[in-house]
Amino acid sequence: MKKSLRERVTGFFINMGRQNKWLRIPAIAGLAVSLWVFRLIEYFRRGTKRFACTIFILLCFMVGNSFAYPVFQEDNGFMAKADKAETVSVTEESDITLANEEKIEIDSLEILEDEDVLEGYDDAELHGMDEADKYSLSEILEENRNGEWKQEEPEEEPEKSEPEFSADDWRLVLINKQHPIPDDYSFTLGSIKTIKGTMKCDERIIDDLLSMMQKASDDGVALAICSPYRDLNYQAVLFNRKIEAYMKKGMSYMDAYTISSQAVTVPGASEHQIGLAIDIVSDDYVTLDEGFSDTDAGRWLAEHSCEYGFILRYPKGKEYITSIEFEPWHFRYVGRDAATIIMKEGITLEEFWDKYL
């Protein structure tokens, strides 16, 4: 009768143990292992169906769970690719901020201008803002014909070797998101009479401002001043309205806040509140948008404003420093020496502080 595999293997170990007493122990071990293996095989053979079911269930479970992993989420559109990229190690706090800010794709959004959010509200709320908030030189001169302001020829200053700058100079005060207006900052609000009423800004910049407008007018460029001084309330209302408007478009509060703070300065951080910033347009181009930089007035200002102490405060390509979009209409008074350096070197006020103060 033919022996089974099991009998042959066990027989082999038994014989081995009998023939040589030194091989007895390995033979017993081999016998035990082989018996155990055969028993295991028998066990699986009997319960094939049961084990097949268990393995199948385990497999389904693993496949189902694997869709929770980022790599599958991305392929299925549950998660944007960009989010995955951001999980790469973030070492510094500043990196975190940048990554968060980049999440919003501003290009794909309609940027809301001040006018957009001002529409449809009762503007009694906007204390301190004139209804017709745009003043051309002719309107100013008309009112001041016999008035206080006469154009003075800009004095030829004696050649100075190297202008010195002081961090305490009121003209150089740095106001941005990181540097809000100091609590003890004070200045005198001056008024320029116009036909429509009075226009306010820091009284110390009025002469230079009007001289600049006069010179532009002599060069055939009709500048118009638009929204000069704004008090904190106005700035806050404008800011909140932008957030509201973005939230109506389905954005979260945080996203709306981030994008609003790029388009309008955060309340408390606007140069308009200290009367040193002026939005300037021209008689024939009144919208505050990038297109202004391509107009005669925009070009004239970019070239000559520094001669009167004004700088283009938010230049193109420096958004990463100012955190404000390019605003070819927003001019800031810093005094002639600083303005000349800033415009000549093509830097921002922030960079000027780094370098000269």
Q: What residues line the site for Zn ion (CB under 5 A)? A: 279, 330
Q: Which one, 74 or 325, has the nearer CB to Zn ion?
A: 325
Q: Which one, 332 or 336, has the nearer CB to Zn ion?
A: 332
What minimum distance in Å lies between the beta carbon of 144 and Zn ion?
Answer: 24
What minimum distance in Å lies between the beta carbon of 225 and Zn ion?
Answer: 11
Sequence-distant (6+) residues with CB within 8 A of 265 are: 176, 177, 235, 239, 271, 272, 324
What minimum distance in Å lies between the beta carbon of 330 and Zn ion?
Answer: 4
Enumerate the active-site residues: 327
Helix, strand or coil for residue 332? strand
What minimum distance in Å lies between the beta carbon of 236 and Zn ion?
Answer: 15
Residue with the shortest CB distance to Zn ion: 330
How far apart CA 318 and CA 347 sit, in angstroms, is 8
Residue 23 is encoded by which pair of tokens?
Answer: 């091989």
What minimum distance in Å lies between the beta carbon of 279 and Zn ion?
Answer: 4
Concatenating the DSSP letter of every residue in 169-200 gives -GGG---SSSSPPPTT---PEEEEEETTEEEE
CA distances from 17 to 2, 9, 138 (A): 23, 13, 122
Sequence-distant (6+) residues with CB within 8 A of 315 are: 322, 326, 346, 348
Q: Which one, 251 or 263, has the nearer CB to Zn ion?
A: 263
Q: Which one, 13 or 292, has the nearer CB to Zn ion?
A: 292
Q: Which one, 230 or 336, has the nearer CB to Zn ion?
A: 230
> Is residue 254 left, alpha or beta, with left meaning phi > 0 and alpha meaning psi from -120 to 50?
alpha
Q: Which one, 318 or 330, has the nearer CB to Zn ion?
A: 330
Residue 295 is encoded by which pair of tokens?
Answer: 């107009």
Longest alpha-carbon distance in the chain? 137
Q: Which of 54, 251, 266 is nearest to 181 (CA)?
A: 266
Q: Which of 205, 217, 222 is nearest to 278 (CA)?
A: 205
What minimum distance in Å lies between the beta carbon of 177 and Zn ion?
Answer: 15
For residue 322, give the amino acid letter: T
Q: How many residues does the chain have?
A: 357
